[in-house]
Amino acid sequence: MFTIRDAVATDVPEILAMIRELADYERLSHQVVATTDSLTASLFGPNSCAQAMIAEVEGRPAGYALFFATFSSFVGRPGLFVEDVFVRPRFRRQGIGKEFFHRLAQRAIERDCGRMEFSVLDWNKPALDFYQTLGAVALTDWTIHRFTGESLLRLAE
């Protein structure tokens, strides 16, 4: 059996470890520059901008969900963006991922969100199949664009 709770500041090192595990799985470990200090500030600092939940099995961290508020001008209401949902391989197929999404949906409803969104790598068939079983709809008419690093700095000049 597992439990899910809101993360606390002392969870940050374990969250960072799981972020690195997720990045390894997604073949993106070279992009992880987060530190315990940056995550602590972002999740628990005075200007925090995100929140996290932790899943535990017998007191051991089994997974995490990381999310933040968005806003839709078309809907005229806030939204919830799910940045990460990760369950360590040995704890998968126990309902943890489904329960994370259940709790995230509850949080979105409590906050009067008009939608809940997330991104999935197009090659991650297990995740795509899982999200489809939950009723998620893949958007095919929107393309994500990103500014990061040098391109973000140039744009800000």
What are φ and ψ of residue 67, in 5° steps? -150, 165
C-alpha separations of 104 from 23, 47, 78, 79, 110 in Å: 22, 22, 14, 11, 10
Bridging pattern class, strands 77-87 and 115-118 = parallel
Angle between helices 12-25 and 36-44 (to 10 degrees): 110
pLDDT tens figures, 99-126: 999 999 999 999 999 999 999 999 999 9
Q: Determine the Cα–Cα distance for residues 123 and 32; give it in Å rounded to an integer.
A: 20
Q: Determine the Cα–Cα distance for residues 5 and 43; give it in Å rounded to an integer.
A: 15
pTM of the entire structure? 0.92
- Alpha-carbon torsion (128, 134, 135, 136), positive or negative: negative
Mean of the per-residue pLDDT values of the chain: 96
Is the domain spanning 2-156 CATH 3.90.550.10? The answer is no
pLDDT by residue for the chain (157 residues), tens only, comes to 999 999 999 999 999 999 999 999 999 999 999 999 999 999 999 999 999 999 999 999 999 999 999 999 999 999 999 999 999 999 999 999 999 999 999 999 999 999 999 999 999 999 999 999 999 999 989 888 888 889 999 999 9
What percentage of residues in the chain have a pLDDT greater than 90? 94
| Residue type at position 75 | V
Q: Determine the Cα–Cα distance for residues 46 and 30; give it in Å rounded to an integer.
A: 29
Domain extent listing, the chain? 2-156
- Mind telling me the catalytic residues? 131
| Residue type at position 19 | I
Token pair 């943890």 in the structure block, residue: 96
